[in-house]
């Protein structure tokens, strides 16, 4: 058996197309604002991808590129200004931040109504009460990918490996809201393989290349690989990427997401959709809080 490949780009494009259609129906163009501190190459490249995708679907996009010497009060003052600006629909501060800035205080300063990353405690709380107004992008992207390929979720036993606040935990909330039975595993879990072998739906978000091997997967399971690990350089000098799931799992699973080209494109597409969702609510005069 060889697993069906759940490719990210077509599913991401469907989400982007929906975002474009919904944005076009709004009285005012949704505007995404991204604040970036310093010139970390990974952050520069993520932010320019977000900007490109926003422009591609007809949203406005502004990047506030500040020096890494920016103080916390200066950053908070900018956030306050963008919070108050009715033309701004979505606002995010690219992480990680320099060490002298408290990221908790920064994330809490962003208006929950504009928090398109879904990291504000109000949005985290809403996620767990079943009203995911602005869900975090990677887990919501995973659910959108499963929906695109019509993978059933309700009643399935989902095992999530990884309990970070940006992937594992919020994904558990989203899958629970879709009536999956959810188990979360982490670095202190005993007998990981015996758990993962129970899963109808196995999602791995750890950051360890090829952690999940074929013996750890139930034949016929659907496997989503969130992990992105740099494993050396290609001949052209570009980083070679590997997922958390060993490629041989394709011999056991019914379906598998590739790395790269699986969950990655969904994350940025969901960010664009969140910007449209935020704009819809703001322009309808509704409040998320």
Query: Residue 128 has which token pair?
Result: 């767990």
Residue 21 bears catalytic tag: no
Residue from 124, 142, 158, 161 binding ligand NDP (CB under 6 A): 161
Q: Is 20 in the site for ligand NDP (CB under 6 A)?
A: no
Query: Which position among 185, 250, 271, 288 is part of the footprint of ligand NDP (CB under 6 A)?
Result: 185
Site for ligand NDP in 125-144 (CB under 6 A): 138
The least CB distance from residue 46 to ligand NDP, in Å, is 9
Rg of the chain's alpha carbons, rounded to an integer?
Answer: 19
> Strand 239-242 relative to strand 229-233: parallel, antiparallel, unpaired?
antiparallel
Sign of CA dihedral 2, 212, 164, 168: positive
The total of other beta-carbon atoms located within 10 Å of residue 84's CB is 9
Task: Determine whether 198 is an active site residue.
Answer: no
Q: Pick the catalytic residue from 117, 200, 225, 244.
A: 117
- The residue annotated as part of the active site, out of 53, 94, 169, 200, is 94
Q: Which of 29, 100, 186, 240 binds ligand NDP (CB under 6 A)?
A: 186
Residue 213 has phi, psi (to 5 degrees) of -105, 165
Active site residue 117: yes
Q: How many residues bind ligand NDP (CB under 6 A)?
A: 26
Binding mask 203-242 for ligand NDP (x = CB under 6 A): --xxxx--x--------------xxxx-------------
Q: How far is the CB of 1 from ligand NDP (least distance, A)?
A: 26
The residue among 195 and 282 lying less far from ligand NDP, judged by its C-beta, is 195
3-state secondary structure 70-127: CCHHHHHHHHHHHHHCCCCCEEEECCCCCCCCCHHHHHHHCCCCCECCCCCHHHHHHH
Contact footprint for ligand NDP (CB under 6 A): 138, 161-164, 166-168, 185-189, 192, 205-208, 211, 226-229, 263-264, 267
As annotated, the active-site residues are 50, 94, 117
């Amino acid at each position: 058996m060889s697993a069906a490949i759940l490719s990210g780009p077509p599913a991401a494009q469907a989400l982007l197309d929906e975002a474009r259609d919904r944005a076009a129906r709004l009285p005012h163009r949704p505007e995404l604002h991204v604040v970036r501190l310093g010139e970390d190459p990974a952050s520069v490249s993520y932010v320019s991808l977000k900007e490109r995708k926003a422009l591609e679907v007809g949203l406005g996009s502004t990047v506030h590129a500040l020096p890494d010497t920016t103080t916390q009060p200066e950053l908070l003052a900018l956030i306050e200004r963008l919070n108050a600006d009715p033309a701004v629909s979505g606002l995010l501060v690219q992480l990680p931040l320099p060490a002298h800035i408290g990221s908790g205080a920064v994330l809490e300063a962003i208006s929950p109504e504009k928090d398109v990353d879904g990291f504000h405690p109000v949005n985290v709380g809403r996620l767990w009460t079943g009203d995911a107004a602005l869900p975090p992008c990677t887990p919501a992207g995973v659910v959108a990918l499963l929906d695109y390929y019509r993978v059933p979720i309700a009643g399935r036993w989902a095992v999530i490996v990884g309990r970070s606040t940006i992937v594992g935990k919020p994904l558990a909330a989203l899958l629970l809201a879709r009536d999956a039975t959810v188990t979360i595993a982490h670095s202190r879990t005993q007998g990981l393989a015996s758990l993962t072998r129970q899963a109808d739906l196995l999602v791995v978000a750890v950051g360890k290349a090829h952690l999940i091997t074929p013996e750890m997967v139930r034949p016929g399971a659907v496997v989503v690989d969130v992990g992105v690990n740099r494993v050396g350089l290609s001949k052209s000098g570009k980083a070679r990427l590997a997922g958390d799931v060993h490629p041989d799992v394709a011999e056991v699973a019914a379906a598998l997401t590739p790395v790269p080209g699986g969950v990655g494109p969904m994350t940025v597409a969901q960010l664009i959709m969140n910007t449209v969702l935020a704009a819809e609510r703001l322009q309808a005069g509704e409040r998320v809080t």
